[in-house]
């Protein structure tokens, strides 16, 4: 297995899987240790019980074969030995005479397929035989030796193994459910937190907030993330506000608030492109304030600024459609874009309304008022030009034609 593959597998591991595996391992180790402890304790208790039982059997045999030893009746001793040993977990039983020679003996037949295993267990757990002296008239006349069988030990091991497997299966199921529930208590808040952070990072959704968690540490972490998101949200709002302000300053006239030349030329190009695609007409107004230099010289620049702001407000009041645009090109020059234009007469009516709006006096900052007239020239796309520069020039020419004819008038270039 290559190191790169191992790294990829590690990277794909989820926190939920890691926590569940950790919980499962801890639970299984605890169950195994508990089961092993119970098994060892049970084995010790069983060994003590078997030793006591073998001792009782040895004493019973010693009492039974006493007469056989006195009368040296080997057959009777053998029968008594077999009668008692056959019904008890005994592998080998011996009756020795006073000289230590075997007087009678019994050995369990190896008919069980697990006899070898039973004998091995017996030698391991019950290494020493149980002994009981045969006494007659307070004189020791023989000795009984009994070697235990591993039958009960093997049964205990089999039962323990079955119970252990069943217990492990039940414990594994319970541990899995508990570890899953415990993991979810941690994973779900972390997933919500990760989703919120991911949304903020990928989609700039700084308005999102992390829901409070039940776990104390995770709740504190969520509060810290929410505080950070609040700061980022304020920062984003500040940046957007500054960007909007800079964009407005870059595209609008600071005095009148109208679109500036850059903004107007961009919109004019867009309007001509759209009109070309849709086959519609565009009207361009070129507007100049009559005798504006004399107003500046006589009343001052502050009064001149007031006049320009009044002209801007009155022109904007005559252009109400969302797609139309009023702009200040510079100095006392203004421009109006009407798109789309349904009919030429519409441009004439708007120009006339603009001139009438200027009939009211304009209040000056230092007191007093004056009337300022406008000269308006109107050119049309596509009749007079098919590009922005050409259309601006034709509208400018039409404005000068209006000035030459009469100040405070408008001139519309003829269309076929």
Is a pLDDT exceeding 80 seen at residue 364? yes
Which CATH superfamily includes the segment(s) 261-412? Reverse transcriptase/Diguanylate cyclase domain (3.30.70.270)
Average pLDDT for 288-308: 93
> 75-84, 127-136, 270-279: which has the highest mean pLDDT?
270-279
Q: Where are the domains of the chain?
A: 13-169, 261-412
Average pLDDT over residues 220-241: 80
pLDDT at residue 5 is higher than 60? no
For the segment 373-382, what is each residue's pLDDT rounded down to a tens digit? 999 999 999 9
Quote the pTM value.
0.52
Over residues 371-400, the mean pLDDT reads 95
Please state, for a pLDDT cut of 90, what percent of the chain lies above it. Answer: 35
Tens digit of each residue's pLDDT (9 = 90 or more) over 187-202: 777 777 777 777 777 7
Question: Which residue is catalytic, options 253, 288, 290, 332?
Answer: 332
Say which residue, 335 or 114, is predicted with more confidence.
335
137 is catalytic: no
Q: What per-residue confidence (pLDDT) applies to 183?
A: 66
pLDDT single digits (tens) 56-101? 888 888 888 888 888 888 888 888 888 888 888 888 888 888 888 9
- The yes-or-no verdict on residue 33 having pLDDT over 90 is no
Proportion of the chain above pLDDT 70, given as a percent: 91
Between CA 108 and CA 90 the distance in angstroms is 7
């Amino acid at each position: 297995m290559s190191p790169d593959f191992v790294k990829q597998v590690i990277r794909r591991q989820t926190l939920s899987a890691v926590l569940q595996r950790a919980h499962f391992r801890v639970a299984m180790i605890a169950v195994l240790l508990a089961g092993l402890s119970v098994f060892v304790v049970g084995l010790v208790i069983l060994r003590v019980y078997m030793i006591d039982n073998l001792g009782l059997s040895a004493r019973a045999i010693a009492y039974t074969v006493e007469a056989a030893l006195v009368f040296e009746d080997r057959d009777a001793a053998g029968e008594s030995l077999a009668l008692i040993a056959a019904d008890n977990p005994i592998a080998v039983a011996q009756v020795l005479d006073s000289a230590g020679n075997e007087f009678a003996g019994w050995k369990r037949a190896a008919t069980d397929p697990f006899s070898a295993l039973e004998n091995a267990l017996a030698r391991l757990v019950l290494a020493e035989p149980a002994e009981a002296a045969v006494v007659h008239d307070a004189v020791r006349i023989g000795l009984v030796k009994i070697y235990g069988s591993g039958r009960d030990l093997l049964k205990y091991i089999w039962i323990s193994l079955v119970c252990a497997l069943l217990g492990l299966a039940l414990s594994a199921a319970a541990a899995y459910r508990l570890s899953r529930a415990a993991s979810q208590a941690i994973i779900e808040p972390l997933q919500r937190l990760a989703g919120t952070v991911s949304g903020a990072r990928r989609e700039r959704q700084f308005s999102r907030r992390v829901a409070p968690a039940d776990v104390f540490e995770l709740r504190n972490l969520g509060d810290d993330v929410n505080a950070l998101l609040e700061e980022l949200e304020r920062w984003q709002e500040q940046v957007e506000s500054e960007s909007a302000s800079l964009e407005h300053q870059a595209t609008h006239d600071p005095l009148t608030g109208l679109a500036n030349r850059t903004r107007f030329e961009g919109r004019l190009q867009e309007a001509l492109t759209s009109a070309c695609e849709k086959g519609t007409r565009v009207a361009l107004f070129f507007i100049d304030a009559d005798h504006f230099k004399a107003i500046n010289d006589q009343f001052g620049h502050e009064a001149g600024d007031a006049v320009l702001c009044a002209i801007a407000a009155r022109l904007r009041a005559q252009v109400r459609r969302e797609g139309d645009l009023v702009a200040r090109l510079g100095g006392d020059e203004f421009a109006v874009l009407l798109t789309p234009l349904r009919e030429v007469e519409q441009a004439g009516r708007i120009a006339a309304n603009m001139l009438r709006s200027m009939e009211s006096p304009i209040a000056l900052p230092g007191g007093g008022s004056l009337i300022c007239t406008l000269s308006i020239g109107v050119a049309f796309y596509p009749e007079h030009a098919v590009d922005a520069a050409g259309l601006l020039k034709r509208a400018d020419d039409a404005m000068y034609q209006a000035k030459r004819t009469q100040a405070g008038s408008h001139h519309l270039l003829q269309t076929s």
